[in-house]
Amino acid sequence: MIKLYNSLTRRLEEFIPIDNDNVRMYVCGPTVYDRPHIGNARPAVIFDVLYRLLKYKYKKVTYIRNITDIDDKIYKASKEKHINIKTLTDETTKLYHSDMSLLNVLPVSVEPHATEHIPEIIEFIHKIIASGYAYEANGHVYFDTGRFDKYGQLSNVNERISGARIKISENKRNNADFVLWKPSDDSFPVGWNSPWGKGRPGWHIECSAMSYKYLGEQFDIHGGGCDLIFPHHENEIAQSYSANSKIPAKYWIHNGHVTVNGTKMSKSLSNFYTVNELLAEFPGEAIRLALLMTHYRSPIDFTKNLLIEAKNILNRWYTAIKNTNNCGNDIDEKVLNALYSDLNTPMAIARLSDIVNCINRGQTELIPTFINTTRSLLGLLYVEPKKWFKTTEGLALDEKYINGEIAKRTQAKQNKNYALADEIRKKLLESGIVLEDTLTGTQWKRL
């Protein structure tokens, strides 16, 4: 029996699917304007574990994770990089997929892009207007929070409204009203034709429209970081309930905040870790394990020491299976029960370490179940043991050296010395470094 903490009811609840034959989950994905950072990686990894657990227990799981490719940050980044928005969002989406794959995050069932669902978004706004919960004002369409008496049920918004991210506007009837559609202007000229003029959707409406299209009026799980509880998920509930008379999801699951060395991530403080930067020093599985060593609902302080600890644990696990990589079919019941208990990954990891102790004492018959459990449920031990130790030994390769080689290769290409450029690429590849030439420059990652 799976139990999950439901942010909507504020209690631990038994998970009972709406349809046992098709468990449905929607998780808010990235806004694609820059490489994913460790804060983006945490929900990707956490909900990947939940996805694996649900796939183990149920016949079918439909997992939707959206791509937000309409946002002021995207337009700003495209201007700064002197490339068009589509090129930027396509490139960034590819980088997101690449980085998450190196963390062993499984592909989702459907990954809808906001820009590909403008007709559905407009139709959803029509439904809200028809229900009497939205109004037009000077080319904007706002949700009328004053008409929705359930507003705040997820976030206790009445206690937080003064400190919330609410933009005051003379177009609004209430300060808490939020935009469903806004007009294009000089600051953001991109837009689509609509009954309210050329413009673009607000942030919140895309998830309501896309979850409705792919999962229906009500589905099982809606997930994301705790920073999305207000205003994003609160507003999703208001939109969807107003359109369909149903709260869109039965269970609302949120992971805790990420800090770095005890402080909020910030580029100005030089503690802003992208996944790609961390992959230069640590294997993807170490990053994944580090994210799972803290319970998903708790804040996690992400440090290099935590990554070193995770890598040492994996070294010990890979050592235990170095003489065989025979994966069985059984699942360890204690690990399974830990994950059934509100996705208690720290307890599951402790149990796996206990199994390693038994293997080291000669109980090698536990290896097949140990490998299958760790791979299937936690998404770890995907690497051949010999390759693991060979690759991780090379991770001490100086990042400055790699970037220097990339600069030499770039200069060689400019000089039309393609033989040298190919030689540098080949030399780095032999050291486990893969180069990716993109419109924004050469990126690199580890095999």
pLDDT reading at 182 higher than 50 = yes
Instruction: Kindly state whether residue 56 falls inside one of the protein's structural domains.
Output: yes
Is the Cβ–Cβ distance between 375 and 335 less than 8 Å? Answer: no
Residue 330's pLDDT is what? 96
Do residues 253 and 314 both lie within one domain? Answer: no
pLDDT reading at 397 higher than 90 = no
Do residues 288 and 311 both lie within one domain? Answer: yes
Residue 163's pLDDT is what? 42
What whole-number distance in Å separates Cα of residue 99 and Cα of residue 436?
12
Strand ranges for 104-234 from DSSP E: 134-137, 140-143, 178-183, 199-201, 219-225
The whole domain housing 408 covers: 397-446
Residue 174's pLDDT is what? 92
Interval 279-291: pLDDT, tens: 998 999 999 999 9
Interval 323-377: pLDDT, tens: 887 888 999 999 999 999 999 999 999 999 999 999 999 999 999 999 999 999 9
Range among 75-89, 185-199, 270-284 rated most confident: 75-89
| Higher per-residue confidence, 437 vs 222 | 222
Do residues 202 and 221 both lie within one domain? Answer: yes
Do residues 164 and 298 both lie within one domain? Answer: no
Express as a percent the part of the chain with pLDDT over 70. 94
Instruction: Kindly state whether residue 338 falls inside one of the protein's structural domains.
Output: yes
Find the CATH number of the domain harbouring 50.
3.40.50.620
Instruction: Kindly state whether residue 6 falls inside one of the protein's structural domains.
Output: no
- In this structure, the number of other CB atoms found within 10 A of the CB of residue 393 comes to 10
Instruction: Kindly state whether residue 315 falls inside one of the protein's structural domains.
Output: yes
Residue at which a domain ends, from 225, 258, 291 = 258
Three-point CA angle 348, 96, 103, nearest 5°? 25
Instruction: Kindly state whether residue 274 falls inside one of the protein's structural domains.
Output: no
Ramachandran sector of residue 343 (left: φ over 0; alpha: ψ -120 to 50; beta: rest): left
Do residues 232 and 345 both lie within one domain? Answer: no
What whole-number distance in Å separates Cα of residue 267 and Cα of residue 16?
42
Band of residue 258 on the pLDDT scale cut at 50, 70, 90: very high
Do residues 381 and 403 both lie within one domain? Answer: no
Band of residue 159 on the pLDDT scale cut at 50, 70, 90: very low
Averaged pLDDT, 217-241: 97
Do residues 108 and 145 both lie within one domain? Answer: yes
CA neighbor of 73 nearest in space, from 32, 29, 27: 32
Residue 189's pLDDT is what? 81
Least trusted range by pLDDT, from 220-224, 265-269, 427-431: 265-269
pLDDT reading at 392 higher than 90 = no
Instruction: Kindly state whether residue 8 falls inside one of the protein's structural domains.
Output: no
Residue 160's pLDDT is what? 42
Interval 65-105: pLDDT, tens: 999 999 989 999 999 999 999 999 999 999 999 999 999 99
Instruction: Kindly state whether residue 275 falls inside one of the protein's structural domains.
Output: no
Question: For residue 154, what are its two tokens?
Answer: 């997820």
Interval 22-69: pLDDT, tens: 999 999 999 999 999 999 999 999 999 999 999 999 999 999 999 999
Averaged pLDDT, 304-331: 92
Do residues 139 and 249 both lie within one domain? Answer: yes
Per-residue exposure over 9-41, b if at least 16 CB sit within 10 Å of its own CB, e if not: eeeeeebebeeeeebbbbbbbbbbbbbbbbbbb
| Higher per-residue confidence, 69 vs 185 | 69
Instruction: Kindly state whether residue 123 falls inside one of the protein's structural domains.
Output: yes
Residue 271's pLDDT is what? 76
Three-point CA angle 297, 37, 238, nearest 5°? 55
Interval 108-150: pLDDT, tens: 999 999 999 999 999 999 999 999 999 999 999 999 999 999 9
Do residues 146 and 24 both lie within one domain? Answer: yes
Strands 134-137 and 140-143: antiparallel
Residue at which a domain ends, from 192, 223, 258 = 258
Domain total of the chain: 3
Do residues 110 and 210 both lie within one domain? Answer: yes
Do residues 309 and 440 both lie within one domain? Answer: no
The average confidence (pLDDT) of the chain is 92
Do residues 328 and 426 both lie within one domain? Answer: no
